Amino acid sequence: MTLFYNPQILTEEPVEMTQLNLPPSPERLAHINIEASVYNILKNIGEEPEREGLLNTPNRVARMFDELTSGYHIEPEKMINGAVFDVDYDEMVVVKDIDFYSLCEHHLLPFYGRAHVAYMPNGKVIGLSKIPRIVEMFARRLQIQEQMTSQIASFLQDTLNPQGVAVVVEGAHMCSMMRGVKKENAKMKTSKMLGIFKEDQATRREFIAHINQQSLGF
């Protein structure tokens, strides 16, 4: 491994590891490599990475990436954790206004907004709290909004085998907003309709009516 920067800035954690003479774990190694990369970015934009305000920035950014890309390390089966139930219920289930924060894979800048998810059961339902967790699992990766929308829909389709799934995502994209190119495209709406939501216009309309309805304020 080549470090391109002054290892003195590695002020936290690695000390015990080197004292024990153990090779760093893959996670630790990844962390160190991200730190080195951030250090290089700082240097190459004309900053002084050793100045006080920036001294711990590589470490902070590496930790931040751990959190913002944690979706890669979630095991779907564990996350679902037995929360799929056999139920004799075949009306639409809608969970709307799910806040999400993601990173665009083209610029590594945030895009964020709300997701609305619905499915029409076919003998199985999933615990309500799991749907925001599913959204988060796909949001906490490098993403493009269209792909995230499809992944959420496919995951529910595969997990519940319902009559259909509908996902609408509204996102604001910092890469458009901050870079000031085409500000009118900064907000984007994407949708994915599967099964009955795709085939039946009345079902789709019912879903759209649900998500356009004012919430009850609780």
Please pick, among 47, 157, 175, 206, the residue that the annotation labels catalytic. 175
Q: Is 210 a catalytic residue?
A: no
Report if residue 96 touches Zn ion, rule: CB under 5 A.
Answer: no
Q: What share of the chain is helix, strand, coil (3-state, %, to 5)?
A: 45, 25, 30
**Residue 142 CB, nearest distance to Zn ion (Å)?**
10
Q: Which of 31, 104, 116, 170 is catalytic?
A: 104
Q: Which of 143, 145, 151, 163 is catalytic?
A: 145
104 near Zn ion (CB under 5 A): yes
Kind plus residue range of the DSSP H or E element containing 207: helix 201-212
Question: What residues from 138 to 197 belong to the interface with Zn ion (CB under 5 A)?
Answer: 175
Interface with Zn ion, residue 93, by CB under 5 A: no
Using the minimum distance from each CB to Zn ion, give the nearer residue, 84 or 144: 144
β-strand pairing of 142-143 with 164-173 = unpaired
Q: Is 105 a catalytic residue?
A: yes
Minimum CB distance to Zn ion, residue 146 (Å): 12
Q: How far is CA 42 from CA 29, 56, 85, in A?
A: 20, 12, 51
Catalytic annotation, pick one of 105, 146, 199, 213: 105
In angstroms, the CA 89 to CA 78 distance is: 25
The two tokens of residue 26 are 């893959």
Dihedral over Cα of 35, 37, 113, 165: its sign: negative
Q: Is 75 considered catalytic here? A: no
What is the C-alpha separation between 112 and 135, in angstroms, rounded?
A: 12
Q: Does 106 interact with Zn ion (rule: CB under 5 A)?
A: yes
Closer to Zn ion by CB, 29 or 181: give it. Answer: 181
- Annotation says 19 is catalytic: no
Choice from 107, 124, 187, 198 touching Zn ion (CB under 5 A): 107
Residue nearest to Zn ion according to CB distances in the complex? 175
φ, ψ of residue 168 in degrees (nearest 5)? -120, 130
Q: Which is nearer to Zn ion, 38 or 104 (CB)?
A: 104
The helix (run of H) or strand (run of E) holding residue 85 is: strand 84-86
To Zn ion, the closest distance from the beta carbon of 108 in angstroms equals: 8
Point out the catalytic residue in the list 106, 146, 199, 213.
106
Q: How many CB atoms lie within 10 A of CB 182?
A: 9
163 is catalytic: no
115 closest CA partner among 95, 93, 133:
95
Catalytic residues: 104-107, 145, 173, 175
Positions touching Zn ion (CB under 5 A) are 104, 106-107, 175
